[in-house]
Structure 1
Amino acid sequence: MISLILTGHGRIASGINEAITQVFGAQADLHVVDFPDGMGTGDLEVKLAEVLAGCAGDVVFFTDLLGGSPFRIASTLAQARPGTEVIAGMNLAMFAEMLFERDDIASAAEFRQRAIEAGQGGITSLADRLASKRQRAEAVDGL
């Protein structure tokens, strides 16, 4: 099973974990490292390194912002450990979809690719969904 590490500014990582736990229950090999106001980047690096060291096999970091401190630190750690990937721009839909696919995915690299697709696919609007539904209905009526 691919280990997952959530990290980001404030309590976004804990918030996503709380939502996942509320909907699906506690998850194995899911680790959370928040970066609250007042915590230094050195402390964040130590915590992320400790969590990563405790993971066996492939690991995927989910971070909030491309270029932010959690992303940069996770990236540095990932470059030093084969089988470790970093994703920026995590969202709940992406994470929920991928959480249950990690047993069926062979590598962190494949997981990363599929997670990005899931994240992009989960972004939509009510207007777009309704228009798509209308188009499908019109196509069926036209047959």
Structure 2
Amino acid sequence: MENIVLISHGGMAEGVKSSLEMIVGQQANVHTVSLRPDSDNLQFEKELNEKMKALNGSTLIIADLLGGTPCNVAVKNYLEDDEVAILAGMTLSVVIEAVVNQRATIKELLCLAKENIVDVKAGMNQAEQEILEEKQEELGDYSAYAGQENIVNSRIDERLIHGQVAGIWSTSLNTQRIIVANDEAAVDPLQKSSLRMAAPTSMRLSVLPVATAAKNIRAGRYGKQRLFLLFKNPQDVLRYIKADGPIKAINVGNMSYKEGAREVTKSIQVLPEEEPIFEAIAAKGITVTAQLVPNEPSIDFMKKLRG
């Protein structure tokens, strides 16, 4: 969608937009309209229609509450408009996905919303048990697989495992194991459990220090399994390469906004000190591309970065 309009009772819409921009930077195509405590449905309708008239192109309206006044007003005015889609049940995760992945379908956004409502304590307990079981997993003599690693994708994604990785990339590539290569996550039991919860239940997960990931993959430890290699930042990619980790290409997916970063693509914000790191990765003969989701075209990231 070319435009996103957040509508809510009170200040929720403004709050979600503020949190969104902390993560992905300023978003000129995201707008808000709020039903204020001292207002009514007629005033809200007037403000929403004025906002919509000022926009060009397709628009996604995300309302806070199904059956609430903001949602009802949107349905009343735009139900028959083919250029307008309407969702109810606003969450920050759904708004982020809609912003960074403009090709996301309504069905995909709905699936993401459902996946993000979980019993965290119960999920953590289950995840911890699965991690213990995976620690006991051994392939026996795996030396025959050394140098025959089956890496189906390598990706930089600051959010690590989330909707795009778990629900779109991993399934479309028939991934059998996700390997998160990050020193901090590898020693943080809470983060490891959170990643296990976020990963598809049908897929194995390894959360490893960068050097260990390089060593295990190089040694053929995972046999013929289809591996999805996931990094949090370009620094970890370069460290993996220097540890002789096998890799031919890296896909840059999501790097969030930080003070001083510049936008390379809508979902990728690069700090000045990260640019030479990407240059060093490319100098190793690694193909560096940018592709948010499989149905988007892959672009030459280094050309975009240098341009």
Normalised to the residue count of structure 1, the TM-score between the two structures is 0.85
Offset from partner CA, 1:93-134 (integer Å, 9 cap, x none): 2211221001xx1xxxx6322211111122221430441353
Residue 34 of structure 2 is aligned to residue 39 of structure 1:
no
- What is the distance in 1 between the residues matched to 2:66 and 2:92? 17
* Counterpart amino acid of residue 88 in structure 1: A
Match of 1:113 among 107, 112, 120: 107
Residue 138 of structure 2 is aligned to residue 135 of structure 1:
no
Match of 2:72 in 1: 72
* Counterpart amino acid of residue 136 in structure 2: D
* Aligned structure 1 segments of 4 or more residues deviating by more than 3 angstroms: none
Distance 1:44 1:132, change over 3 A: same
Alignment of 1:78-93 (within 5 A): 78-93=78-93
Match of 1:4 in 2: 4
- What is the distance in 1 between the residues matched to 2:57 and 2:100? 17
Deviation of 1:136 (Å): 4.7
- What is the distance in 2 between the residues matched to 1:69 and 1:86? 14
- What is the distance in 2 between the residues matched to 1:80 and 1:46? 18
- What is the distance in 2 between the residues matched to 1:54 and 1:85? 17
Offset from partner CA, 1:18-69 (integer Å, 9 cap, x none): 1112222210211100111011100100111111112222111111111000
Q: Which has the larger radius of gyration?
A: 2
The alignment of Structure 1 onto Structure 2 pairs a total of residues equal to 137
Query: What are structure 2's unaligned runs of at least 5 residues?
Result: 139-307
* Counterpart amino acid of residue 18 in structure 2: E
* Counterpart amino acid of residue 77 in structure 1: N
Give the structure with the higher percent strand: 2
Match of 2:29 in 1: 29
Where relative contact order (Cα < 8 A, 6+ residues apart) is larger, the structure is: 1
- What is the distance in 1 between the residues matched to 2:37 and 2:105? 31
- Percent sequence identity over matched residues? 22
* Counterpart amino acid of residue 73 in structure 2: I
**Helix, strand or coil at the partner of 2:67:** coil
Give the structure with the higher percent helix: 1
Match of 2:94 in 1: 94
